[in-house]
């Protein structure tokens, strides 16, 4: 079911599926996208300070709640602290700015956007403070490799609940996923559709035809069956509905293996070990 959740290690429930809004312009486009998603059953929205669209996301949430009669508690809203704001005090301030732009009084999930060397530990301490104050229901990281997590875990009082990383059939992150599982850290996929670069793949097309589904649906279903949260981006209502229609079919073990085998450790985004 579209609103199914996974339980994070602190007991908070997070939807398996949501909408990403990277590169969706602030203003009407993001307002209408967020609104359309929620009206069509989405409950989770993934934004970030650096996307520059938190105000529009907030407006979309407000309009969707008015229109659907849902309440804030029915939604799961994620944002991220950007690299320029890293450090203890500046992260606390950046969080307040995000909250204000979103027009919310708490976040469901707040992430350290990138593992900026020498800075992410202090940033993490700020997230721990905000979490303890009840201003964030769950805290996590993004783009952390195993060595970043190991170093964070040495200093952290609270273990991250989520690690959001680039993840798609060409970048299956097997070791990182195993490490996260061992530590109770939920993996979340960004660029699950490889930003549009996988739709012509013959293996994926064949599997899609077998199930009378689209390639997008096959990839997103593969995420779920691998136990990975997924947040595909679209601004088009038709595609949002398509992307969410993945709870009525199942990939076979063999099909899962075929898709896993497409891995080439290929990134479309920056490498977390070398992104400056």
Binding site for ligand NAD (CB under 6 A): 20-22, 46, 113, 142-143, 164, 190-196, 214, 216, 231-234, 239, 242-243, 269
Integer Cα distance of 232 and 220 in angstroms: 8
Shortest Å distance, C-beta 22 to ligand NAD: 3
Choose between 133 and 273: whose C-beta lies nearer to ligand NAD. 273
Of 174 and 275, nearer to ligand NAD (C-beta) is 275
Please say whether the dihedral angle defined by the alpha carbons of residues 236, 259, 76 and 112, taken in this order, is positive or negative: negative
Least separation, in Å, of the C-beta of 69 and ligand NAD? 26
Give the residue with the Cβ less far from ligand NAD, 175 or 271. Answer: 271
Provide, rounded to whole angstroms, the least separation between the CB of residue 160 and ligand NAD: 13
Is-contact 207 255, C-beta < 8 A? yes
The number of beta carbons lying within 10 Å of the beta carbon of residue 100 is: 13
The rounded distance, in Å, linking the Cα atoms of 32 and 221 is: 26
Least separation in angstroms between CB 192 and ligand NAD: 5
Residue among 139 and 194 whose Cβ is closer to ligand NAD: 194
Distance CA 124, CA 120 (A): 6
Q: Is the dihedral of CA 189, 186, 95, 274 positive or negative?
A: negative
Minimum CB distance to ligand NAD, residue 60 (Å): 14
CA angle 131, 135, 136 (to 5 degrees): 55
Nearest residue to 148 via CA among 164, 134, 137: 164
Helix (H, G, I), strand (E, B) or coil at 108: strand
Reduce the DSSP state of residue 213 to 3 states and report it: coil
Which of 42, 51, 120, 167 is the catalytic position? 51
Give the residue closest to ligand NAD by C-beta. 20
Q: How far is the CB of 71 from ligand NAD (least distance, A)?
A: 23
Question: What distance in Å separates the CA atoms of residue 113 and residue 217, rounded to the nearest whole number?
Answer: 27
Query: Residue 162 forms beta bridges with which residues?
Result: 140, 186
Instruction: Say whether 106 is catalytic.
Output: no
Residue closest to 201 by CA, chosen among 271, 270, 267, 258: 258
Instruction: For ligand NAD, give the closer residue by CB, 52 or 269.
Output: 269
Q: Is 119 helix (H, G, I), strand (E, B) or coil?
A: coil
Which residue number, 69 or 188, has a Cβ lying nearer to ligand NAD?
A: 188
Positions marked catalytic? 51
């Amino acid at each position: 079911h579209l609103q199914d959740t996974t339980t994070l290690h602190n007991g908070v429930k997070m939807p398996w599926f949501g909408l990403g809004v990277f590169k969706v312009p602030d203003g009407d486009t993001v307002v209408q996208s967020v609104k359309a998603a929620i009206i069509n059953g989405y409950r989770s929205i993934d934004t970030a300070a650096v996307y520059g669209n938190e105000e529009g996301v907030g407006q979309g949430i407000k309009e969707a709640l008015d229109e659907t009669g849902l309440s804030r508690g029915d939604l799961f809203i994620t944002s991220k602290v950007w690299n320029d704001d890293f450090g203890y005090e500046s992260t606390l301030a950046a969080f307040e700015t995000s909250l204000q732009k979103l027009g919310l009084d708490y976040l469901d999930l707040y992430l350290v956007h990138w593992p900026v060397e020498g800075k992410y530990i202090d940033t993490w301490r700020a997230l721990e403070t905000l979490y303890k104050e009840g201003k964030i229901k769950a805290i996590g990281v993004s783009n952390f490799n195993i060595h970043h997590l190991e170093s964070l875990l040495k200093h952290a009082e609270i273990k991250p609940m989520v690690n959001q990383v680039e993840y798609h059939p060409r970048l299956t992150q097997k070791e990182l996923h195993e490490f996260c599982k061992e530590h109770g850290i939920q993996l979340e996929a960004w660029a699950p559709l490889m930003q549009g670069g996988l739709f012509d793949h013959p293996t994926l097309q064949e599997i899609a035809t077998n199930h009378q589904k689209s390639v997008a649906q096959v990839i997103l279903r593969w995420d779920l069956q691998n136990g990975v949260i997924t947040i595909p981006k679209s601004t088009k209502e038709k595609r949002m509905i398509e992307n969410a229609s993945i709870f009525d079919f199942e990939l076979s073990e063999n099909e899962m293996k075929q898709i896993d085998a497409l891995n080439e450790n290929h990134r479309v985004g920056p490498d977390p070990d070398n992104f400056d």
